[in-house]
Amino acid sequence: MLSDDEYDDYCKLIARLKCEQQTSGQQPQRKRNRLPMEAYAASDCDFFMTICAHDRAAAPFLRKPIADGVIESLLWTKRSNDWTLHCYCLMPDHLHFIARLPDSDVAYFDAGGRGVVPKGILDHVGHFKKFTTTQVWWKHGGRDELWQRSGYDHAINYNQSLEPAVRYVLNNPVRKGLVQDWRDYPYSKLVDAEL
Protein backbone atom coordinates (compact mmCIF):
# COMPACT_ATOMS: atom_id res chain seq x y z
CA MET A 1 0.00 0.00 0.00
CA LEU A 2 1.25 3.49 -0.82
CA SER A 3 1.92 6.03 1.90
CA ASP A 4 0.09 9.36 1.69
CA ASP A 5 3.22 11.09 0.37
CA GLU A 6 3.80 8.37 -2.23
CA TYR A 7 0.15 8.55 -3.29
CA ASP A 8 0.24 12.37 -3.53
CA ASP A 9 3.39 12.11 -5.67
CA TYR A 10 1.65 9.50 -7.82
CA CYS A 11 -1.43 11.71 -8.35
CA LYS A 12 0.77 14.72 -9.19
CA LEU A 13 2.72 12.62 -11.69
CA ILE A 14 -0.49 11.38 -13.31
CA ALA A 15 -1.87 14.93 -13.51
CA ARG A 16 1.39 16.20 -15.05
CA LEU A 17 1.42 13.36 -17.59
CA LYS A 18 -2.20 14.02 -18.52
CA CYS A 19 -1.44 17.70 -18.97
CA GLU A 20 1.59 16.91 -21.15
CA GLN A 21 -0.46 14.49 -23.25
CA GLN A 22 -3.27 17.02 -23.72
CA THR A 23 -0.91 19.80 -24.75
CA SER A 24 0.87 17.46 -27.17
CA GLY A 25 -2.47 16.48 -28.75
CA GLN A 26 -2.43 12.91 -27.41
CA GLN A 27 -5.46 11.55 -25.64
CA PRO A 28 -4.74 10.56 -22.02
CA GLN A 29 -4.56 6.81 -21.51
CA ARG A 30 -6.96 5.34 -19.01
CA LYS A 31 -5.23 3.55 -16.14
CA ARG A 32 -5.66 -0.18 -16.36
CA ASN A 33 -7.05 -1.78 -13.25
CA ARG A 34 -4.56 -3.81 -11.28
CA LEU A 35 -6.84 -6.81 -10.78
CA PRO A 36 -8.65 -9.01 -13.31
CA MET A 37 -12.19 -7.72 -13.88
CA GLU A 38 -13.68 -10.81 -12.21
CA ALA A 39 -11.88 -9.92 -8.97
CA TYR A 40 -13.90 -6.70 -8.65
CA ALA A 41 -17.07 -8.80 -8.30
CA ALA A 42 -15.64 -10.97 -5.49
CA SER A 43 -17.36 -11.07 -2.14
CA ASP A 44 -14.52 -12.84 -0.33
CA CYS A 45 -12.33 -9.75 0.04
CA ASP A 46 -12.60 -6.11 1.04
CA PHE A 47 -11.81 -3.30 -1.37
CA PHE A 48 -9.75 -0.28 -0.30
CA MET A 49 -10.73 2.40 -2.79
CA THR A 50 -9.31 5.88 -3.34
CA ILE A 51 -10.78 8.27 -5.89
CA CYS A 52 -9.43 11.76 -6.43
CA ALA A 53 -11.12 14.97 -7.48
CA HIS A 54 -10.48 15.88 -11.10
CA ASP A 55 -8.98 19.19 -10.00
CA ARG A 56 -7.28 18.32 -6.72
CA ALA A 57 -5.85 21.81 -6.36
CA ALA A 58 -9.39 23.23 -6.19
CA ALA A 59 -10.17 21.05 -3.13
CA PRO A 60 -13.89 20.79 -4.02
CA PHE A 61 -14.84 18.92 -0.84
CA LEU A 62 -14.06 21.94 1.32
CA ARG A 63 -17.48 23.16 0.17
CA LYS A 64 -19.94 21.70 2.68
CA PRO A 65 -22.84 21.12 0.24
CA ILE A 66 -20.51 19.18 -2.08
CA ALA A 67 -18.98 17.14 0.77
CA ASP A 68 -22.39 16.39 2.31
CA GLY A 69 -23.78 15.35 -1.08
CA VAL A 70 -20.82 13.04 -1.76
CA ILE A 71 -21.17 11.33 1.63
CA GLU A 72 -24.94 11.01 1.26
CA SER A 73 -24.39 9.45 -2.20
CA LEU A 74 -21.74 7.05 -0.86
CA LEU A 75 -24.13 5.87 1.87
CA TRP A 76 -26.93 5.48 -0.71
CA THR A 77 -24.54 3.43 -2.91
CA LYS A 78 -23.77 1.24 0.12
CA ARG A 79 -27.47 0.65 0.81
CA SER A 80 -28.54 0.10 -2.80
CA ASN A 81 -25.73 -2.40 -3.50
CA ASP A 82 -25.90 -4.02 -0.05
CA TRP A 83 -22.23 -3.29 0.67
CA THR A 84 -20.57 -3.64 3.99
CA LEU A 85 -18.98 -0.20 4.22
CA HIS A 86 -16.31 -0.46 6.89
CA CYS A 87 -15.27 3.18 6.90
CA TYR A 88 -14.73 6.27 4.78
CA CYS A 89 -12.80 9.51 4.83
CA LEU A 90 -13.56 12.40 2.50
CA MET A 91 -10.56 14.70 2.33
CA PRO A 92 -10.62 18.12 0.62
CA ASP A 93 -9.49 16.57 -2.68
CA HIS A 94 -10.07 12.79 -2.49
CA LEU A 95 -12.19 10.01 -0.99
CA HIS A 96 -11.01 6.82 0.71
CA PHE A 97 -13.35 3.99 1.67
CA ILE A 98 -13.22 0.28 2.42
CA ALA A 99 -16.14 -1.88 1.34
CA ARG A 100 -17.11 -5.51 0.84
CA LEU A 101 -19.64 -6.78 -1.67
CA PRO A 102 -22.47 -9.01 -0.45
CA ASP A 103 -22.43 -12.78 -0.85
CA SER A 104 -24.63 -13.26 -3.89
CA ASP A 105 -24.59 -14.64 -7.38
CA VAL A 106 -22.44 -12.56 -9.70
CA ALA A 107 -24.45 -10.76 -12.38
CA TYR A 108 -22.94 -10.34 -15.83
CA PHE A 109 -23.73 -7.60 -18.32
CA ASP A 110 -22.69 -6.50 -21.80
CA ALA A 111 -20.20 -3.68 -21.32
CA GLY A 112 -19.81 -2.90 -25.00
CA GLY A 113 -16.12 -2.76 -25.87
CA ARG A 114 -15.18 -4.56 -22.67
CA GLY A 115 -17.39 -7.52 -23.62
CA VAL A 116 -19.55 -9.43 -21.17
CA VAL A 117 -18.17 -8.72 -17.70
CA PRO A 118 -19.21 -9.37 -14.11
CA LYS A 119 -20.87 -6.45 -12.34
CA GLY A 120 -18.74 -5.44 -9.39
CA ILE A 121 -17.50 -2.64 -7.23
CA LEU A 122 -15.95 -0.72 -10.14
CA ASP A 123 -19.40 -0.48 -11.74
CA HIS A 124 -20.90 0.74 -8.46
CA VAL A 125 -18.13 3.33 -8.09
CA GLY A 126 -18.64 4.41 -11.71
CA HIS A 127 -22.34 5.06 -11.06
CA PHE A 128 -21.48 6.87 -7.82
CA LYS A 129 -19.00 9.13 -9.64
CA LYS A 130 -21.46 9.90 -12.43
CA PHE A 131 -24.28 10.65 -10.00
CA THR A 132 -22.19 12.88 -7.74
CA THR A 133 -20.87 14.76 -10.77
CA THR A 134 -24.29 15.48 -12.27
CA GLN A 135 -26.49 15.67 -9.18
CA VAL A 136 -24.13 17.23 -6.64
CA TRP A 137 -21.22 18.94 -8.39
CA TRP A 138 -23.08 20.48 -11.34
CA LYS A 139 -26.07 21.49 -9.20
CA HIS A 140 -23.72 23.49 -6.96
CA GLY A 141 -22.04 25.33 -9.83
CA GLY A 142 -19.24 22.91 -10.65
CA ARG A 143 -18.09 22.56 -14.22
CA ASP A 144 -16.62 19.63 -16.11
CA GLU A 145 -15.90 16.44 -14.18
CA LEU A 146 -15.81 16.10 -10.41
CA TRP A 147 -13.63 12.95 -10.35
CA GLN A 148 -10.53 11.68 -12.09
CA ARG A 149 -11.32 8.82 -14.47
CA SER A 150 -9.30 6.22 -12.60
CA GLY A 151 -8.45 5.62 -8.99
CA TYR A 152 -6.38 3.48 -6.71
CA ASP A 153 -7.76 0.18 -5.47
CA HIS A 154 -6.42 -2.62 -3.33
CA ALA A 155 -8.07 -5.94 -2.49
CA ILE A 156 -7.65 -7.00 1.13
CA ASN A 157 -7.86 -10.77 1.32
CA TYR A 158 -10.08 -12.51 3.86
CA ASN A 159 -7.03 -13.68 5.85
CA GLN A 160 -5.57 -10.17 6.23
CA SER A 161 -6.51 -7.92 9.12
CA LEU A 162 -8.66 -4.94 8.17
CA GLU A 163 -7.54 -2.88 11.16
CA PRO A 164 -4.40 -1.30 9.60
CA ALA A 165 -6.31 -0.24 6.48
CA VAL A 166 -9.24 1.11 8.51
CA ARG A 167 -6.87 3.09 10.75
CA TYR A 168 -5.07 4.42 7.65
CA VAL A 169 -8.37 5.67 6.17
CA LEU A 170 -9.68 7.21 9.38
CA ASN A 171 -6.39 8.87 10.31
CA ASN A 172 -5.90 10.58 6.96
CA PRO A 173 -6.99 14.00 8.32
CA VAL A 174 -4.66 13.54 11.31
CA ARG A 175 -1.66 12.83 9.05
CA LYS A 176 -2.52 15.92 7.00
CA GLY A 177 -2.67 18.09 10.13
CA LEU A 178 -6.39 18.92 9.86
CA VAL A 179 -7.33 17.52 13.29
CA GLN A 180 -5.65 15.91 16.31
CA ASP A 181 -8.08 12.96 16.45
CA TRP A 182 -9.94 11.44 13.50
CA ARG A 183 -13.20 11.53 15.48
CA ASP A 184 -13.05 15.34 15.29
CA TYR A 185 -13.08 15.32 11.48
CA PRO A 186 -16.68 15.49 10.18
CA TYR A 187 -16.04 13.33 7.10
CA SER A 188 -14.07 10.45 8.65
CA LYS A 189 -16.32 7.72 9.98
CA LEU A 190 -16.57 4.08 10.96
CA VAL A 191 -19.76 2.66 9.44
CA ASP A 192 -19.81 -1.15 9.60
CA ALA A 193 -16.56 -1.75 11.46
CA GLU A 194 -15.17 -1.43 14.96
CA LEU A 195 -11.71 -0.57 16.23
pLDDT digits (tens, 9 = 90+) for 148-186: 998 999 999 888 899 999 999 999 999 999 999 999 999
Q: Per-residue pLDDT tens for 55-93?
A: 999 999 999 999 999 999 999 999 999 999 999 999 999
Work out the average pLDDT over 135-159. 92
Distance between CA atoms of residues 61 and 70, nearest Å: 8
Could you tell me if residue 186 is inside a domain? yes
Name the residue type at position 71: I
3-state SS of the chain: helix, strand, coil percent to 5? 45, 20, 35
CATH label of the domain that carries residue 88: 3.30.70.1290
User: Does residue 138 lie in a domain region?
Assistant: yes
What is residue 144's DSSP assignment?
S
| Among 89, 52, 56, 93, residue whose Cα is nearest residue 71 | 89
Strand partners, 51: 95, 151
- Please determine, for residue 18, whether its predicted confidence score (pLDDT) is greater than 70: no
Residues 6+ apart with CB under 8 A from 8: none
Collapsing DSSP states into helix, strand and coil, what is residue 157?
strand
What is the number of structural domains in the chain? 1
Q: Answer yes or no: is 26 within a domain.
A: no
Q: Please check whether residue 29 lies inside any domain of the structure.
A: no
**Are the C-beta atoms of 47 and 91 separated by less than 8 Å?**
no
Residue 71 is assigned to a structural domain of this protein: yes
Q: Give me the chain's average pLDDT, please.
A: 85
Task: List phi, psi (to 5°) of 185.
Answer: -90, 125
The residue segments making up the domain with residue 172 are 34-190
| Maximal C-alpha separation, the chain | 49
